[in-house]
Amino acid sequence: MRLPVYHGRISKAETEDLLASSGKDGSFLIRDSETVPGTYCLCVLNRTFVHTYRISEISGNWSVQTSKGVLPRFFSSVENLIVTYEKPGQGTVVPLLHPVEYKCYKIRSQNEDLQEEREYMEILGI
């Protein structure tokens, strides 16, 4: 998945820290699910609590498990899913208002004949 809000394999605790540091209701990010391989988690901050919704792909269409009683909807891309849930009343506790993005920098350092490549993560929009 190549989206600015996708954080890969970060833990639930790391997710909560990132969203809490944004301090804004409606802050959100996407991460890999820790419990269901091949699915993702849409994590949204509301007050001091992080709500997690599972995103999965079925036959090329994307769906998110939202509030009870809300019928599942399918999207051709995760981008379309996000755009829909930016609006109020779509099934998430609050609209997706503040994307918590990341940016990676690759830095090369040389030690005689050893060349290391390190990846650093900078959280944007916080």
The answer to whether position 118 is within a domain reads: no
The answer to whether position 121 is within a domain reads: no
The domain that contains 22 carries what CATH number?
A: 3.30.505.10
Residues in contact with 103: Cβ distance below 8 Å, sequence separation at least 6, in sequence order: 4, 121, 122, 124
In this structure, which amino acid lies at residue 116? Answer: E
The answer to whether position 73 is within a domain reads: yes
- Do residues 58 and 39 make contact, with C-beta atoms less than 8 angstroms apart? no
pLDDT (0 to 100) of residue 103: 59
The answer to whether position 113 is within a domain reads: no
The domain tally of the chain equals 1
Instruction: Give the predicted TM-score (pTM) of the model.
Output: 0.78
Give the structural domain span for 42: 12-101
The answer to whether position 106 is within a domain reads: no
Structure tokens at 97: 């208002």
CB atoms within 10 A of CB 103: 11
The answer to whether position 34 is within a domain reads: yes
The answer to whether position 77 is within a domain reads: yes
pLDDT along the chain (126 residues), means of 10: 89 93 94 93 95 92 83 91 94 94 54 36 37
Extract the runs of DSSP E, i.e. beta strands, from 1-126. 27-32, 40-46, 49-58, 61-64, 98-99, 101-111, 114-124
The answer to whether position 45 is within a domain reads: yes
Pick from 44, 67, 64: which is nearest to 54 by CA? Answer: 64
